[in-house]
Amino acid sequence: MRNLLPILLLLIVVSGYAQNKVADVKVQGNERTKTNFIKKIVRLKAGMELDSTLLEEDVYRLKRLPSVSHAYFQVFPAMEEGNYNVFYGIEENFTLIPFANVYTSNNDEFAFRLGLQEFNLFGNNVTLGGFYQLDVFNSYGAHLRAPYLFSSKIGLAISYQDLRTQEPVFLDSGTADYRYNNKSFEVLGLFEVNFRNRFEFGVNFFTENYDYLFGETDPNVPQDLEVDKYLMKLIYNYDGIDYYYQYLAGFKSTLNLQYVHSTSGMLPEFIIGFNDFTYFVRVGQRGNWANRLRLGLSSNIDTPFAPFAVDNNLNIRGVGNIIDRGTGAIVLNTEYRHTLIDKDWFVLQSNVFIDGGTWRNPGGDFSDFSDDQNIRIYPGIGVRFIHKRIFNAIFRIDYGHGITNMGAKGIVFGIGQYF
Task: Say yes or no to pLDDT of 272 above 90.
Answer: yes
Do 270 and 382 share a domain, yes or no? yes
pLDDT (0 to 100) of residue 10:
52
Do 191 and 73 share a domain, yes or no? no
The residue among 254, 318, 244 whose CA lies nearest residue 288 is 244
Average pLDDT over residues 274-295: 97
The residue among 70, 69, 87 whose CA lies nearest residue 78 is 87
pLDDT (0 to 100) of residue 275:
98
Do 135 and 58 share a domain, yes or no? no
CA distance readout (Å), 14 to 8, 19, 74, 276, 317: 10, 10, 10, 37, 48
Do 75 and 102 share a domain, yes or no? no
Do 62 and 122 share a domain, yes or no? no
Do 49 and 114 share a domain, yes or no? no
pLDDT (0 to 100) of residue 104:
60
**Domain of residue 367, CATH code:** 2.40.160.50
Task: Say yes or no to pLDDT of 201 above 80.
Answer: yes
Average pLDDT, the chain: 90
Do 377 and 293 share a domain, yes or no? yes
Task: Say yes or no to pLDDT of 252 above 90.
Answer: yes
What does the pLDDT look like over 150-192, one tens digit per residue? 999 999 999 999 999 888 887 878 888 999 999 999 999 999 9
Which of 74, 92, 110 represents a domain boundary (last residue)? Answer: 92
- Integer Cα distance of 100 and 355 in angstroms: 21
Diameter over CA atoms, the chain: 85
CA distance readout (Å), 359 to 7, 167, 272, 307, 323: 47, 18, 14, 11, 12
Band of residue 9 on the pLDDT scale cut at 50, 70, 90: very low
Domain that holds residue 259: 96-415
Domain count of the chain?
2
Do 157 and 88 share a domain, yes or no? no
Q: Of 193-202, 304-313, 315-324, 390-399, which has the strongest mean pLDDT?
A: 193-202
